[in-house]
Amino acid sequence: MARVTIKDIARKLALSPSTVSRALHDHPDISRKTKDDVLNIARNLDYFPDTFARGLRKKHSSTIGIIVPEIRHDFFSSAISGIEEIAYSKGFTIMVCQSNEDWQREALNLRSLVANRVAGVLVSLSQTTQNIDHFSILDSQKVPAVFFDRTHKDVKHSQVIVDDFNGAKELVLYLLNKGYRSIAHVAGSDCVSVGRDRLAGYIDAHLEFGLPVDERLIISAGFREIDGRNAAKTLLAMPKRPDAIFAVNDPVAIGIYIVLKEEKIVIPDEIALAGFCNNPISALIEPSITTVQQPARLIGSTAANLLIERILHPDKEYPAVTKTLKTELIIRNSA
């Protein structure tokens, strides 16, 4: 049998489609009995609304668009999971796109989401996103958005981030206090907030400790495991190797870990290693990786709640807020 529409229900009950629509939405004008009748028939016929027809009228769907660099990374899959959980509980579905760290694809993803009339958008920027001009479509189309984790200084929307600066600073101070004096930083992109802020934390820790920063020890890499591998090779080729490495995130730390292991370099005795994220894998490898805990799921759910709040009250004024969640230094065996 074909799809059941509101008309079918109306015909069965000798009502008008508008009454059925109202009954289905629990409109106060409709009598108890009519509502019950409609609900019953709807159930019997296995009716469900056509989101296209509804969306065409209402100008938006109950879908939340998500753009992340890579679905596979534990941080992002956890964040997506947190988003989905909230979205599901509030009757939203999620549409997921991955930019593959490519800002042009990010722009295309965004257009696609807007064309799909998503109710709002959750974004974590790609590492190649130098400016955020391609997000202007959010304003012109009045699509609410919340940026999470990887954001950009020009972002005017609400954001959910962690205190990357202090998280990194605390970690690097810990390393300095432990006696490491030649700490390399394998950095991410410096357009993207987390890359910039963690680097700033690294520098500020040195400042506060009173140790000059050796610029040569700052390697511009990226956010992926492969970037860590490459950076590790660069570092190992240096005449004077660092005695510790702070990676911008755990995937990069894992990349470094793999190369160090391959080269039979003992962690932390020869070179200490620390990351940022606290991916599950970091606790399980040996030595376990000292890192900074980032509540990925919570970041996702917080961003989702913020966005849905805005979606549900489109008229209300929502000044952009920045929610900064706490990080926690996780000391393990690698540093």
Partner DNA sequence: CTGAAAGCGCTAACAT
Partner DNA sequence: ATGTTAGCGCTTTCAG
Segment interacting with its own copies, rule: CB under 8 A, options 22-30, 114-122, 210-218, 312-320: 114-122
135 to 174: interface string for its own copies, x by CB under 8 A? --x--xx---------------------------------
Residue in the structure block whose two tokens are 């769907």: 61
CA distance 285 to 209: 30
Single-letter code of the amino acid located at 301:
S
178 binds DNA (CB under 7 A): no
Q: Is 24 in the site for DNA (CB under 7 A)?
A: yes
Residues 6+ apart with CB under 8 A from 42: 9, 24
Residue 139 binding DNA, by CB under 7 A: no
* DSSP, residue by residue, 240-266: S--SEEEESSHHHHHHHHHHHHHTTPP
Give 89 or 131: the residue with its C-beta nearer to its own copies: 89
H or E segment and range at residue 284? helix 280-284
Residues 124, 260: Cα–Cα separation, whole Å: 30
DSSP secondary structure letters along 106-170:
HHHHHHHHHHTT-SEEEE---TT----GGGHHHHHTT--EEEESS--TT--SEEEEE-HHHHHHH
Q: Please name the helix (run of DSSP H) or strand (run of DSSP E) that holds residue 228, with its range, or none.
A: helix 225-236
Query: Between the CA of residue 216 and those of 199, 219, 242, 263, what are the distances in Å?
Result: 13, 7, 10, 22
Distance, in Å, from the CA atom of 194 to the CA atom of 71, rounded to the nearest integer, reads 18
Task: Rule CB under 7 A: choose which of 36, 40, 44, 54 binds DNA.
Answer: 54
The answer to whether residue 114 forms part of the interface with DNA (CB under 7 A) is: no
In the complex, the smallest distance separating the C-beta of residue 50 from DNA, rounded to whole angstroms, is 4
From 16, 44, 104, 322, residue interacting with DNA (rule: CB under 7 A): 16
Q: Which is nearer to its own copies, 74 or 243 (CB)?
A: 74
Residue 309: which of its own copies, DNA, none does it interact with, CB under 5 to 8 A by kind?
none
**DSSP code, position 214:** -
Beta carbons of 272 and 244 less than 8 angstroms apart: yes
Segment interacting with DNA (CB under 7 A) among 42-50, 160-168, 179-187, 234-242: 42-50
Q: Write out the binding residues for its own copies, residues 270-289 only, by CB under 8 A.
A: 280-281, 284-286
Phi, psi of 132 (to 5 degrees): -115, 30
Least CB distance from residue 17 to DNA, whole Å? 4
| 14 is a site residue for DNA (CB under 7 A) | yes
Three-state DSSP class for residue 238 = coil
Q: Answer with the entry of DNA, its own copies, none that 254 interacts with (C-beta below 5 to 8 A by kind).
A: its own copies
Between 61 and 90, how does the x/- string for binding to its own copies read (CB under 8 A)? x-x------xxx-x--xx-xx--xx--x--
- Nearest Cα to 278, choosing from 191, 162, 184? 162
- The yes or no reply on residue 34 touching DNA (CB under 7 A) is yes
In whole angstroms, the minimum distance from the beta carbon of 253 to its own copies comes to: 12
In the complex, least distance from residue 282 CB atom to its own copies, rounded to whole angstroms: 10
Q: In this chain, which of 11, 12, 21, 170 binds DNA, going by CB under 7 A?
A: 21
Binding residues for DNA, rule: CB under 7 A, are 3, 5-7, 14-19, 21-22, 24-25, 27-34, 47, 49-50, 53-54, 56-58
Binding residues for its own copies, rule: CB under 8 A, are 1, 3, 46, 48-53, 55-56, 61, 63, 70-72, 74, 77-78, 80-81, 84-85, 88, 93-98, 105, 111-117, 137, 140-141, 254, 257-258, 280-281, 284-286
